[in-house]
């Protein structure tokens, strides 16, 4: 039975492309209208897994998904770094000489700003990349193109006029694979663990919390803070560290942190994906 994978966006979205690359071609993708709906689909069992973006190498963190991780009971079981390559696509039979406008999400347009200026194309902002590709398909406009993923060109039967439109090739989005149930596995190997915790507002509290990892030579891959709702100027801290939560060094660090933290939760330990 093919696994159903929830993602935010329309068919052809970068999140759907990431789902196929991470889970395999045999999945049944489930498009969801929002991040909240994606979490809900996995929580209620409509989908077995969800694949959610958490950060982009150029644009930074996706804060809403950090908040939703805290609000839900889902566990992180994997990560995937998708190389974001924007393709310029249009209706079959059209050429670059026919193009006057290009439609896409504002972030995609910004990431291709120099190339679009060189090509003298007018940028038109749309709600998302895959939606802009669908709009070109539906409109029949021979003078308009979309910036979207190669998957969007396949879904909407569009012709790719130019690949790799992005100005900066070091453009990656990190996705998290989430599920409602996890089974204990082997702690050996190249793992990453994600946690969230809060601290009492005391001098040196964050220094002491971070020291539990430094004392054990545990590498911290990421630190993110998010405001605690209803408590002005108090924060939740999200940390990714190298290693498994059940390995000896990770377990000792978390036991130590638990004595310092007002709140501590392990969001998941999962195989680390490294960009080649």
Q: Which residues of the chain have pLDDT under 70?
A: 1, 183-184
Tell me the CA distances in angstroms from 209 to 82, 193, 223, one per residue in order: 32, 16, 12
pLDDT for position 275? 85
Q: How high is the pLDDT of residue 228? A: 93
- Does one domain contain both 42 and 175? yes
Residue 185 within a domain: no
CA-to-CA dists, residue 183 to 65, 176, 179, 268, angstroms? 23, 17, 11, 11
Among candidate residues 38, 94, 129, 173, the one labeled active-site is 173
Q: What pLDDT, on the 0 to 100 scale, is given for residue 59? A: 87
- Which is the catalytic residue, given 7, 39, 175, 213? 175
Q: Tell me: do 115 and 237 sit in the same domain.
A: no
With residue 116 as reference, give the H or E element that holds it: helix 113-118
Q: Are residues 61 and 117 in the same domain?
A: no
The reply to whether 195 and 235 lie within a common domain is: yes
Same domain, 202 and 265: yes
Helix or strand holding residue 276 (H, E): none
| Three-class secondary structure assignment of 249-262 | HHHHHHHHHHHHCC
Do residues 149 and 88 touch, judged by C-beta distance below 8 A?
Answer: no
Domain count, the chain: 3
What CATH number should be reported for the domain holding residue 243?
3.30.70.260
The answer as to whether 108 is a domain residue is yes
Any idea what the Cα angle at residue 53 is, between residues 160 and 192, rounded to 5°? 125
pLDDT at residue 268 in the model: 96
Whether 197 and 158 map to the same domain: the answer is: no
pLDDT at 1: 59
- 45 and 175 part of one domain: yes
197 lies in the same domain as 259 = yes
Does residue 175 carry a catalytic annotation?
yes
Residue 193: partners with Cβ closer than 8 Å, 6 or more residues away: 240, 241, 242, 243, 244, 245, 250, 266, 268, 269, 270
Tell me whether residue 37 is in a domain. Answer: yes
Which domain does 258 fall in, by range? 191-271
Domain identity same for 175 and 79: yes
């Amino acid at each position: 039975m093919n696994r159903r994978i929830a993602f935010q966006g329309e068919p052809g979205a970068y999140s759907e492309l990431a789902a196929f690359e991470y889970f395999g071609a045999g999945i049944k993708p489930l498009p969801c209208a929002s991040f909240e709906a994606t979490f809900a689909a996995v929580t209620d069992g409509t989908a077995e897994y969800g694949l959610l973006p958490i950060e982009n190498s150029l644009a930074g963190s996706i804060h809403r998904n950090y908040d939703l991780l805290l609000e839900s009971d889902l566990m992180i079981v994997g990560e995937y770094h998708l190389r974001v390559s924007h393709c310029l696509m249009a209706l079959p039979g059209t050429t670059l000489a026919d193009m006057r406008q290009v439609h896409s999400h504002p972030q995609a347009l910004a990431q291709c700003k120099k190339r679009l200026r060189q090509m003298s194309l007018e940028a038109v902002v749309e709600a998302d990349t895959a939606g802009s590709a669908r709009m070109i398909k539906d409109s029949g406009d021979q003078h308009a193109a979309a910036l979207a993923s190669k998957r969007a060109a396949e879904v909407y039967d569009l012709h790719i006029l130019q690949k790799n439109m992005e100005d900066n090739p070091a453009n990656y989005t990190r996705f998290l694979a989430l599920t409602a149930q996890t089974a204990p596995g082997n702690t050996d190997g190249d793992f990453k663990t994600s946690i969230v915790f809060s601290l009492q507002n005391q001098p040196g509290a964050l220094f002491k919390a971070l020291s539990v990892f430094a004392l054990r030579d545990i590498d911290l891959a990421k630190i993110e803070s998010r405001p605690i709702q209803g408590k002005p100027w108090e924060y939740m801290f999200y940390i990714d560290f190298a290693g498994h939560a059940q390995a000896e060094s990770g377990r000792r660090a978390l036991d130590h942190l638990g004595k310092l933290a007002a709140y501590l939760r392990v969001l998941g330990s999962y195989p680390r994906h490294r960009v080649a």
